[in-house]
Structures are given as C-alpha cells and as structure tokens.
Amino acid sequence: MLKKRFFKTKDEVEVTFELDKNQWESIKIAGDFNDWQPEPMKLVKKSGQFKFKTRLPKEQHIQFRYLLDEVEWENDPQADAYVP
C-alpha cells in the first residue's frame, strides 16, 4: 500500500510505502526514484509492517517493486497503475 501526503506550499508529495511483514524477514524497495537500487524498508514492529518514506515531485508517475527476502519481486496490489 502507498500513502501520499500533499503539501500546499511545495511541489512535492511525501510517499509512504507499506507492506505487511507476513513471513518475510526483509523487504526492500526499488524504483525509478532510486535508480532501481533496492533500499531496505524499516520494520515497524508495532504495526507489523515494513515502511519506506520519501519525497517526490508532485506530478511524477513512479514505477517500483518490492524485493522480498532478496529472492522474490512483488508488485503493490494497491498501486495507482501498472506498466505492462
């Protein structure tokens, strides 16, 4: 899941990526916003979710995927859109 927080005075949006821990020991995120270099997501034990937060230009359409336990790639089921 991703959440977006818009700012009235800035041309950027704060995006928080969240994915339930489930059976995964580690989750990384890679996308065009970080040159497809997987970055670790932080596990928030209280919520049982991995999270990653970044700021992006307001009108930018991003592409990203999650890397689960360094072996399995997964799309976000609640993404705004998908690229074939």
Enumerate domains of the chain plus CATH numbers: 2-74 (2.60.40.10)
Tens-digit pLDDT profile for residues 16-57: 999 999 999 999 999 999 999 999 999 999 999 999 999 999
- With bands split at pLDDT 50, 70 and 90, how would you rate the model's confidence at 83? confident
Give the separation between CA 59 and CA 20, rounded to whole angstroms: 27
pLDDT recorded at residue 79: 80
pLDDT recorded at residue 44: 96
